[in-house]
Amino acid sequence: MKRLSALLLTLCLAALLTAPALAYTEYGAAYDATGLLEDAFLRTLGEETLADLSRRCALEFRLDVVRDLEGETIGDYARIFYENYDYGYEDTDDGLLLMVYVTEDGDGLALEEYTLYGEGMGFVFLAEHQEELEAALDQGLRADAWAGDLAADRRAFAAALEAYVEVLEQYAPDDAAETADSGAGTASDAAEPHLGFVTDAAGILTEEEQSRLESAAARITEEFSCGVYIVTVSDYTAVASGSIGDVAEAIYRGYDLGYGPERSGILLLMSLADRDFDLVAFGYGNYAFTDYGKEALADEFLDDFRYNDWFDGFSDYLNYSAEFLRRAQGGEPVDWQETPPSPVFLFFASLIPACLIAGVVCAVLRSRMRSVQQASSASAYLVPEGFQLRTANDVFTHITESRVRVRSESTRSGGRGGTSINSGGFSHHSGKF
């Protein structure tokens, strides 16, 4: 009986201790792992506000409040949530997730950090409006705003989410679903489905500079039937996990960039935080911009970017992209080519080392024969009184000469040209500026 009572007591205590950890609330698109935030606000936000915005924009907007990252960074944890719970609008991956990480303190909740994670069209929407969204969220998602009791924490949370929703309503497109189904058929389709040829989310260009670059990129796209794009962001790592190449591919796919049914084009993505860039090509762009070609193209604008001369750098990028496309149109894309060395060069290249080696060998042999001298006649080489000749004459008879043909094999290094294309059909060149 005592054992049974002890077992029941243990189970009761375990249930009491684990109950707070299991408490959570979920209302439509809003999830709160703490179960401590205001239910009425979350219900309206998740079941009405975010749901209506998702239907209007064909993007799923979600909110997840978590209390543990399980050893992951918040960016990776957001990606795991997004993938494991199959977020995204209807049958697509298009969506934007706001994840807020909080812990419990003595008075209520303590805000640790938050992140925004998007995929598909949600990612590119975030890339374009990241600054506005974060400015809105910072009104309440700040550590100092959560320094009071639970009621103050709830007010700060509500203020941040209300400002966030206002930005979503202001910038989210009404015709996202219609445009996403249209695809990319012509240059004008590629120009402005959601994204122009030049998108300056980092805010490093003036309106006049962006307009001039946009016009130049549109002209090049029309002339060569290959899209040429520029995208700048403040920090690609704050938008999504993965390399800058992964982010560039997500933008290319999400905005349906490219010209024609093959979606041919090249995109220059710049991230200002750590001064990263990526050149990504697709379709015909893989032929026109080889591995060597993308590296050579980057050399043309990097010298400007290192001095923060953005407009001149982008102008060089567009001008040389047009030249590379012109070369490709003529059947000779810019690529690495091996030039065979001339026969004269090969002769001297082999003669000089041979002479040096022979000189060293002769010098060594000569140093070992300092006590030896050449005699004037053969009799000098006879041991005294060891051999007697009645007549001694030196008579020249002949010379024996042996010749051996030395064969040399020349090798050529090949396979350095062309384009390396990944399984998704993209080719890249990344680096720093």
pLDDT band at 193 (very low <50, low <70, confident <90, very high): very low
For tokens 């047009």, the residue is 322
The predicted structure's pLDDT at residue 376: 62
Domain 183-335+424-432 in CATH 3.40.50.620? The answer is no
CATH of 20-176, one of 3.40.640.10, 3.10.310.50, 2.130.10.10, 3.30.365.10: 3.10.310.50
Average pLDDT over residues 334-338: 73
Please write down the HEC assignment for all residues of the chain: CHHHHHHHHHHHHHHHHHHHHHCCEEECCEEECCCCCCHHHHHHHHHHHHHHHHHHHCCEEEEEEECCCCCCCHHHHHHHHHHHCCCCCCCCCCEEEEEEEEEECCCCEEEEEEEEEEECHHHHHHHHHHHHHHHHHCCCCCHHHHCCCHHHHHHHHHHHHHHHHHHHHHHCCCCHHHHHHHCCCCHHHHHCCCCCCEEECCCCCCHHHHHHHHHHHHHHHHHHCCEEEEEEECCHHHCCCCCHHHHHHHHHHHCCCCECCCCEEEEEEEECCCCEEEEEEECHHHHHCCHHHHHHHHHHHHHHHCCCCHHHHHHHHHHHHHHHHHHHHCCCCCCCCCCCCCHHHHHHHHHHHHHHHHHHHHHHHHHCCCCCCCCCCHHHHCCCCCCCCCCCCCCCCCCCCCCCCCCCCCCCCCCCCCCCCCCCCEEEEEEEC
**186 pLDDT exceeds 60?**
no
**264 pLDDT exceeds 90?**
yes
Q: Which of 201-205, 259-263, 312-316 has the lowest mean pLDDT?
A: 201-205
**339 pLDDT exceeds 50?**
no
The predicted structure's pLDDT at residue 344: 61
pLDDT band at 14 (very low <50, low <70, confident <90, very high): very low
Across the chain, mean pLDDT equals 80
Angle at 25 between CA 19 and CA 30, to 5 degrees: 150
Residue 180 and residue 195 in contact, taking contact as beta carbons nearer than 8 Å:
no
pLDDT in tens, 401-413: 655 444 333 322 3
Give percent above pLDDT 70 in the chain: 73
The predicted structure's pLDDT at residue 79: 81
The predicted structure's pLDDT at residue 413: 33
**187 pLDDT exceeds 60?**
no
Q: Name which residue leads in pLDDT, 57 or 101.
A: 101
- Ordered by start, the domain boundaries in the chain are 20-176, 183-335+424-432
Amino acid at 93: D
The predicted structure's pLDDT at residue 375: 63
**16 pLDDT exceeds 60?**
no
Comparing C-alpha atoms, which of 133, 128, 84, 121 is closest to residue 250? 121
**30 pLDDT exceeds 60?**
yes
Average pLDDT over residues 384-400: 62
* Fold equal for 20-176 and 183-335+424-432: yes
Give percent above pLDDT 90 in the chain: 46
